Structure 1
């Protein structure tokens, strides 16, 4: 259906968006930012609505700030972690200059997974429910030049941000009427658009993901949902755990399916580290099994 674009990276589908088409983008992360900039670059003239639960865009990078070295970070609750991050961002450095909060977030990056794995399950659940969105907009940021473009589009009234959720969508002629309930309000409002673009990111819930492979593995009991509801149950090294709680020999996962297990599992540095670790492990397993291609795997 050309009015609903489920894959924002489907260039042919995006090319069907006309300059005069009002557009609703669902999701307000970096993918949404990319699509707004792309549409602007193609001469799009009509309104762009962006809808997400909190209506928050990623924060911006700054051009000049010094990254500090890795720090130890150990907090036993989501709230104490939030307070410690705030304190570090507010405290002056040795040079008496106020620390840029971006430094604080970036210095935590190498230790985030270790900290996440140390949290009790109830605290992980609390973080995902109350703090995940705020962490994401500070952690996954826009380039300063891109942020300027987004702000300019917003200031001229073309870009409209809505915090809320979709109640219903109905076709009326060649357009769609979308009923939206805004955050904190009891009543809904309607917007009319020609296109809807899904920018909510990869689906990691087994109950919702459209994957014959994952559905087959789940039916066979080889995978099951993480206890917190999204992603799959794995060991910290990515080895899949079956429905009986046992590791499945030779079955591993990387990327978004590990997001609940590891928290940081979608950005390139984390994916690169996971891929390297997994490749090393597979090469070691192949060598132990005396596979003919084990040496080639190790060299790769």
Structure 2
């Protein structure tokens, strides 16, 4: 499970990040490994031996999977290479998968949309005005409807239409954009297309979707109509990582609103859009802040 130092955070080495007091930098370290005694001591001891200041620490051992998860923020004058050197004995000893990045570094993000605007508008507003730690480097739409919104926020808009006959070509273009723009995170902001199994595997853990339903109920198309037909008293939204199994990926965040029998399908859609945008925003923020760790088909979220 060991992840070599040169592959742990490919973008972090090029950005020095925000400086704190006395010329220090705050870093965030996440690790996962088989659970056992001494893990916390090994990590924190290595940092303490250097005289580094831990500003935040959370950990969780999952008895179901037998895995241990930890997230640490540390303030230090060390370079990334010096930190990796100090921590490598712990990484090797416990077989850790790990990532190390600068706190607050904006994650290069590509947003995919169709015609619904609410999630895109919300993400772009939060990036600009509310400190969402993402850098939206482009918006891809399979329709032209949201070009004006992207351009209002100064974001390049790429029209990549998708039909049954052009799906393979559209996905090839999407891959090109991910490579050309050095994309770290893809967000499906009500993108009404299904990604291929191959693309889902290649971008595993790097694609976040918002599903307009409280999964695992009402999967697939028209979930609000399905919910209305069942007379639900709660409607919700689910943000999850995308896998080859439709609407089955590891769940990051969910939220709900109470409704009653008087609500028509259109009412559920309107109420649901508000739930969707805030659910997706929390999931994207937590991912960008390195608060979400994969635990098989589940996630550990350090809030």
User: What TM-score do you get using the length of structure 1 for normalisation?
Assistant: 0.30
Larger radius of gyration: 1
Higher relative contact order (CA 8 A, sep 6+): 1
User: What TM-score do you get using the length of structure 2 for normalisation?
Assistant: 0.29
